[in-house]
């Protein structure tokens, strides 16, 4: 294991290259790094496929849940009680989910009776959120290329009472060919370098490198193109990652806009959410001006993991 993975008081020494990149992004490391490594407040999402909102809030009133603001089914709690050990979670009445992780589906805004693709669905937090918003109607295709992740996906779908979903195990790149212009909405919560999740797990550090970012951005470009091909005219897709790397965010969205100038990156406004706009350039590369409508979430400004979210529409 790399020497910089030594720890002090249980926290890792971040790789110098990563720290240098964060500084280049404009972060004050004395504020940003402690916030990045500090666990955010725990949050849960009420699963309306199995329970009423008020019923769950009454059952969990001892946790003093507080609404996040941008989604009336997502709540923060005080203290470090493990939500995954609660009976309500076991029964599928709630889903323990970081607040940032609930934002891509909130932005996607799924509707009943639609056909929707979740291109990289495991372990299922966003797929179950989509199915609930669809009220178990229409069709949700929950895809993941990794055979090792399918059991967690199907388990979470079952626990959450999801009935409108087909699980597939295909490369996401395939959907643009086999299901061209099929879906009303597509979610790509893309595989990424996971820099924003270090408060939860240091595993991302084991694979993080400049070459990994380049490799992942190549995959992401193929996925976003496939997602756009699979959208119906007039459809909407959301591209999201849990990393800060501009190559994996603005770079990927700019690549799509280069190939499809008619695609529109829509503005995102969510009540009570502290966000920053997408970067206009990175290391001499100017991005498409439309990427300013991407929202970025930083842990020193937002009580949640680091995330980046873009909502993109296809003209009719």
Helix (H, G, I), strand (E, B) or coil at 138: coil
Kindly write down the DSSP assignment for every residue of 94-137, as one continuous string. EEE--GGGGHHHHHH---TT-EEEETT-TT-HHHHHHHHHTTT-
Of the CA atoms within 13 Å of residue 35, those in its CB half-sphere come to: 17
Q: How far apart are CA 310 and CA 188, in angstroms?
A: 10
Count of C-beta atoms within a 10 Å radius of residue 145 = 17
Cβ-based burial of 98 (10 A; exposed 0-12, middle 13-18, buried ≥19): buried
Residue 291 contacts residue 254 (beta carbons within 8 Å)? yes
Work out whether strand 295-297 and strand 307-313 pair parallel, antiparallel, or are unpaired: antiparallel
Of the CA atoms within 13 Å of residue 221, those in its CB half-sphere come to: 18
- Cis peptide bond prior to 245, omega within 30° of 0: no
Name the token pair of 25. Answer: 């992004």
Catalytic residue (choose from 117, 198, 224, 242): 242
Q: Mark whether 242 is an active-site residue.
A: yes
Catalytic residues: 242
């Amino acid at each position: 294991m790399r020497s910089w993975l030594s720890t002090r008081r249980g926290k890792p020494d971040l790789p110098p290259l990563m720290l240098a990149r964060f500084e280049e992004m404009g972060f004050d490391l004395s504020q940003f790094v402690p916030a990045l490594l500090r666990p955010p407040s725990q949050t849960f999402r009420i699963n309306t496929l199995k329970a009423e909102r008020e019923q769950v809030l009454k059952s969990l009133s001892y946790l003093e849940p507080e609404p996040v603001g941008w989604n009336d089914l997502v709540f923060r709690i005080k203290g470090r009680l493990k939500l995954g050990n609660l009976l309500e979670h076991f029964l599928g009445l709630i889903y323990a989910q970081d607040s940032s992780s609930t934002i891509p589906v909130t932005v996607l805004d799924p509707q009943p009776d639609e056909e929707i693709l979740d291109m990289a669905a495991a372990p299922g937090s966003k797929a179950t959120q989509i199915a609930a918003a669809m009220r178990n109607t229409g069709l949700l295709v929950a895809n993941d290329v990794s055979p090792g992740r399918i059991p967690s996906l199907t388990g979470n779908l079952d626990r959450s009472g999801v009935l409108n979903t087909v699980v597939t195990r295909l490369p996401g790149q395939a959907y643009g060919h086999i299901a061209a212009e099929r879906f009303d909405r597509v979610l790509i919560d893309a595989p990424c370098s996971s820099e924003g999740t270090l408060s939860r797990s240091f595993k991302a550090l084991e694979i993080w490198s400049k070459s990994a970012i380049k490799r992942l951005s190549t995959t992401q470009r193929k996925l976003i193109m496939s997602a756009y091909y699979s959208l119906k005219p007039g459809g909407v897709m959301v591209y999201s990652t849990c990393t800060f790397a501009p190559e994996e965010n603005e770079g990927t969205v700019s690549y799509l806009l280069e190939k499809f100038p008619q695609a529109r990156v829509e503005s995102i406004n969510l009540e009570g959410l502290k966000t920053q706009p997408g970067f206009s350039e990175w290391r001499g590369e100017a991005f498409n001006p439309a990427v300013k409508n991407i929202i970025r979430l930083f842990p020193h400004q937002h009580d949640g993991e680091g995330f980046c979210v873009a909502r993109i529409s296809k003209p009719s």
